[in-house]
Amino acid sequence: MRKYESAFTLIEMSVVLLIVAMLISGIFIAQSMLRSSQVHVMVTEYDSYVKAIGEFQDKFLALPGDMSGSTGYTPQAMWGADPCGCPCATSNVKTALTCNGDGNGSIGTSSLSGGMSSSNFASTISYEWFRAWQQLADAGFIQGSFTGSPGSGGTNEAVIGTNVPSSAVIGAGWTLLYFLFPSNGSPESNLLLWRDNYGHILTLGGFSSNSYTHAPVLKPEDAYALDLKIDDGMPGTGKVRAWRTGTLTSCTTGDTSQSAQTYSSNNTIQACSLVFLLGF
């Protein structure tokens, strides 16, 4: 008697291949939807913080963190003075107790030459960066609770979820600060951002020791999508900027001129963080 070996028919193989193709297609669609969702979340967070800062200004005629106020109407009078001191070296206690700012019209003060390394901010009033989030929460314009003081790593250290808010993007947080480039200083090729008077900015990125949030948390394609959603899609111009290759080497290319800088479309790893110019 002849023995027959079982095998897939052409129809069965076609069905299997079709199922595999549908699964692969589903994975790509899911990844695309996830990226789209992340971009939407980041835009929503950015919009909510810009709105909160504006509402705080309208109500108190001052910027959060910088507010000095008048008798009986100072941050310390309204929300209580921080027993840790003003400025407080470091604290892990999230509280409404706060400090008055210096009232000079900026959240921190920076007019230093060169790039935005932590050493460039050594003489700025960086504690206002962290009091800003605390006071926005104290006034009810954002949710959360914050320490109002720098992290244990140094006077500029933003600790995500502790003294600055976290993002829905895994590992990312937001820092609010003030930065100007003077006309003199380091050569353009040595700067970490293009030489512009940035003013107040929001930085979206990961934790970086003794510094604001700027470690990479986004793929270049996601950074581009977010930039394009809010601005011009160009990392060197407009109100959404990427760090130059001196800071994040794999996020962008064409770093020879401001208008030639583009997001690195061939890079599929998390290589980017972003800077948002607030316009004041």
| Per-residue model confidence as pLDDT tens digits over 25-68 | 555 555 555 566 667 888 899 999 999 999 999 999 999 999 99
Whether residues 86 and 191 share a domain: the answer is: yes
Confidence check: pLDDT of 217 > 90: yes
Residue-level pLDDT at 235: 97
Whether residues 150 and 258 share a domain: the answer is: no
A 10 A CB-CB count for 215 gives 18
* Mean pLDDT computed over 218-242: 94
Name the one residue in this structure whose structure tokens are 């913080």.
49
| Amino acid sitting at position 21 | A
Which two tokens mark 126? 């960086």
Tell me which residue of 187, 278, 189, 206 sits closest to 241, measured CA to CA: 278
Task: Please state the domain count of the chain.
Answer: 2
pTM for this entry: 0.85
Confidence check: pLDDT of 113 > 50: no
Rounded to whole angstroms, the Cα distance separating 186 from 195 reads 10
Residue-level pLDDT at 26: 59
Q: Which domain holds residue 245?
A: 216-280
Give residue 83's Cα distance to chain centre. Answer: 29
Tell me which residue of 122, 226, 214, 220 sits closest to 164, measured CA to CA: 214
Whether residues 227 and 133 share a domain: the answer is: no
Comparing 16 with 195, which gets the higher pLDDT? Answer: 195
- 190 within a domain of the structure (yes/no): yes
Residue-level pLDDT at 17: 72
Residue-level pLDDT at 247: 87
Q: Which positions ≥6 away from 70 have C-beta within 8 Å?
A: none
Residue-level pLDDT at 96: 97
- 35 within a domain of the structure (yes/no): no
